[in-house]
Amino acid sequence: MKKIIYILLIIPIIVSGQTGKFNEHTYQCLDTIERPFILYTPTTINKTQKRPLLVYLHGAISNKSLKKDPLAYMKKSKLIKLAEKGGFYLMYCYGQKGATWFDPVGMDMILKEIEIVASKYAIHKDKIFLSGFSDGGSGALYMSMVHPEPFAGFIAMNGHLKVADKLGTYALYPANSNHKPTYIINTKKDMLYPIKQIKPAISYLQKFNTAITFSEVDGNHDMSYLQKEQKKLIDFITTTTRRNKYKISWETSDLSNNSYEWISILEMDTKTKDAHPNHTPYSLEIFNDKAVFGIKYDYSFRGPGLKVSDFKSDTCTAKKIGIKKGDIILMMEKDTMTSPYAPYFYIANKLAGDQTSLTIKRGDNKIKIEGAFNQGHTYSVFNHKKTTARVWATIEEETLLITTSRTKKIAIRFSDIKNKTIRKLIINGKKYSSSYKGTQEITIKQQ
């Protein structure tokens, strides 16, 4: 096991309007870089009693640099009021490109930082919740299907399932959430993630997780709804507790992510063509009618306007209508480009196929370019290209029933099965001998 290396700094900070404490920590990640994380302790907490922990993942995770001032960033958080009202600890993780919520470095960072906090503070270990906004919301969805085991539940705010699937190291399999309680919030006017694309994805997830609560609220790509959702979120955290799992499912195409609770897939059978009848691919297609220019901007350019540094593809709208690298976009129709957010506000009122016009500066010339956005298209939410193995395990009275698909070898950690006595083991309808103690590795008999 990797040794946890961290520096613990206890720096009480008095916040305007609050008297809770911010304790700054750092953790040396798998890439050897030390990154900060901060724990907020509300005034409402009795430090002798174990309390829930809400972990928060921020957005814009692809940035090359960490947040310039992590403490100042957290001090502005609307979640502080939520933590005060609910009486639970609040922890902020800080990631960046190379340590995102979707890669091994970032995922390990999240889990190890939680371990550190849980070892130092009065954290209720069965009431740890992972939340996030935007990329962080997508990260919470991702972790709910990749590393659900340490969490009581998840809160995903303005996330997108396709973002989680696209950015993730591991493929997503919705049943891997194992019915972990998940509270999902998306806004009706989100300029980045249109609600009409979000709702089909959530409905699909609910087929595999009956503990998903979906809240569609007013707003754009922001957390202005937090005050109205406060009571529901506090109730979710208060009433949700991590439970022992006696009926579980796990699917993987990568043995570095092969385990859930007390069972692991040790070897896959990739040569077997026929899978178990219930081992079927996940398939969800959604129509994208969002207007997109496909421009990459040079944010070091100080204006006026926004400078084009590159394009996201050779077939994007901007390139098709005649925009070139180095052009400075001054206006999109009547909208002046006064900030990096201006294009998003303009596009929020457009659909694929709509007419558009851009006023640009090219050299010393001011030019107006007209055209139409590309037509909409259908995309697949899940990008499953590899063969997968899957196991189902259920404890009924004193019998452990396991069904496997494309699986050669498994491990059962009997010592991790709490409050149950196992006296019989049946795998794929066949009885297997076992001591029912410690960890047992089992090679699956051929059908």
Looking up residue 184, the CATH number of its domain turns out to be 3.40.50.1820
Clarify whether residues 273 and 334 are in a common domain: no
Contact between residue 220 and residue 213 where contact means Cβ atoms under 8 Å apart: no
Clarify whether residues 144 and 278 are in a common domain: no
Q: Return the CATH number at 313.
A: 2.30.42.10
**Residue 18: what pLDDT?**
55
Query: Which DSSP letter does residue 96 get?
Result: B
Burial of residue 1 (CB within 10 Å: 0-12, 13-18, 19+) is exposed
Among residues 329, 357, 374, the one where a domain terminates is 374
**Residue 270: what pLDDT?**
81
Question: Is residue 216 scored above 70 in pLDDT?
Answer: yes
Clarify whether residues 317 and 268 are in a common domain: no
Question: Is residue 273 scored above 80 in pLDDT?
Answer: no
**Residue 364: what pLDDT?**
95
Clarify whether residues 268 and 208 are in a common domain: no
Clarify whether residues 328 and 233 are in a common domain: no
As a whole number, mean pLDDT of residues 46-60 equals 95
Clarify whether residues 365 and 386 are in a common domain: no
As a whole number, mean pLDDT of residues 258-264 equals 98
- Please check whether residue 2 lies inside any domain of the structure: no
- Please check whether residue 248 lies inside any domain of the structure: no
**Residue 292: what pLDDT?**
96
Clarify whether residues 281 and 186 are in a common domain: no
**Residue 15: what pLDDT?**
39
- Please check whether residue 7 lies inside any domain of the structure: no
Question: Is residue 4 scored above 80 in pLDDT?
Answer: no
The residues, any chain, with a CB within 8 Å of residue 326's CB and separated by 6 or more, are 307, 308, 362
Residue 47: band (very low, low, confident or very high) from pLDDT cuts 50, 70, 90: confident
As a whole number, mean pLDDT of residues 137-164 equals 98
Among residues 317, 351, 374, the one where a domain terminates is 374
**Residue 206: what pLDDT?**
99
As a whole number, mean pLDDT of residues 250-265 equals 98
Tokens 């129709």, located at residue: 333
Work out how many domains the chain is built from and give that number.
3
Clarify whether residues 132 and 204 are in a common domain: yes
- Please check whether residue 250 lies inside any domain of the structure: no
- Please check whether residue 96 lies inside any domain of the structure: yes
Residue 307: band (very low, low, confident or very high) from pLDDT cuts 50, 70, 90: very high
Question: Is residue 427 scored above 80 in pLDDT?
Answer: yes
**Residue 400: what pLDDT?**
98
Q: Which domain holds residue 263?
A: 259-285+382-443
Clarify whether residues 364 and 415 are in a common domain: no
Per cent of the chain over pLDDT 90 is 91
- Please check whether residue 16 lies inside any domain of the structure: no
Q: For residue range 70-114, what is the model confidence (pLDDT) as tens digits?
A: 999 999 999 999 999 999 999 999 999 999 999 999 999 999 999
Residue 13: band (very low, low, confident or very high) from pLDDT cuts 50, 70, 90: very low
Residue 11: band (very low, low, confident or very high) from pLDDT cuts 50, 70, 90: very low
Query: Which DSSP letter does residue 239 get?
Result: H
Question: Is residue 321 scored above 70 in pLDDT?
Answer: yes
What mean pLDDT is reported for the chain? Answer: 94
**Residue 6: what pLDDT?**
38
- Cα 368 from Cα 332, distance rounded (Å): 10
H-run or E-run covering 377: strand 377-380
As a whole number, mean pLDDT of residues 313-328 equals 97
Question: Is residue 374 scored above 90 in pLDDT?
Answer: yes
**Residue 48: what pLDDT?**
84
- Please check whether residue 215 lies inside any domain of the structure: yes
- Please check whether residue 196 lies inside any domain of the structure: yes
Instruction: Determine the straight-line distance between the first and last CA of the chain, rounded to whole angstroms.
Output: 36
- Cα 86 from Cα 200, distance rounded (Å): 32
Question: Is residue 9 scored above 70 in pLDDT?
Answer: no
Clarify whether residues 232 and 273 are in a common domain: no
Taking alpha carbons only, the member of 265, 246, 273, 257 closest to residue 147 is 257
Contact between residue 263 and residue 391 where contact means Cβ atoms under 8 Å apart: yes
Tokens 């009431």, located at residue: 127
pTM above 0.85, yes or no: yes
Residue 3: band (very low, low, confident or very high) from pLDDT cuts 50, 70, 90: very low
Clarify whether residues 418 and 351 are in a common domain: no
Taking alpha carbons only, the member of 276, 57, 59 closest to residue 175 is 276
Taking alpha carbons only, the member of 354, 254, 265, 343 closest to residue 297 is 343
Clarify whether residues 369 and 390 are in a common domain: no
Among residues 374, 390, 419, the one where a domain terminates is 374
Contact between residue 23 and residue 41 where contact means Cβ atoms under 8 Å apart: yes
- Cα 376 from Cα 336, distance rounded (Å): 26
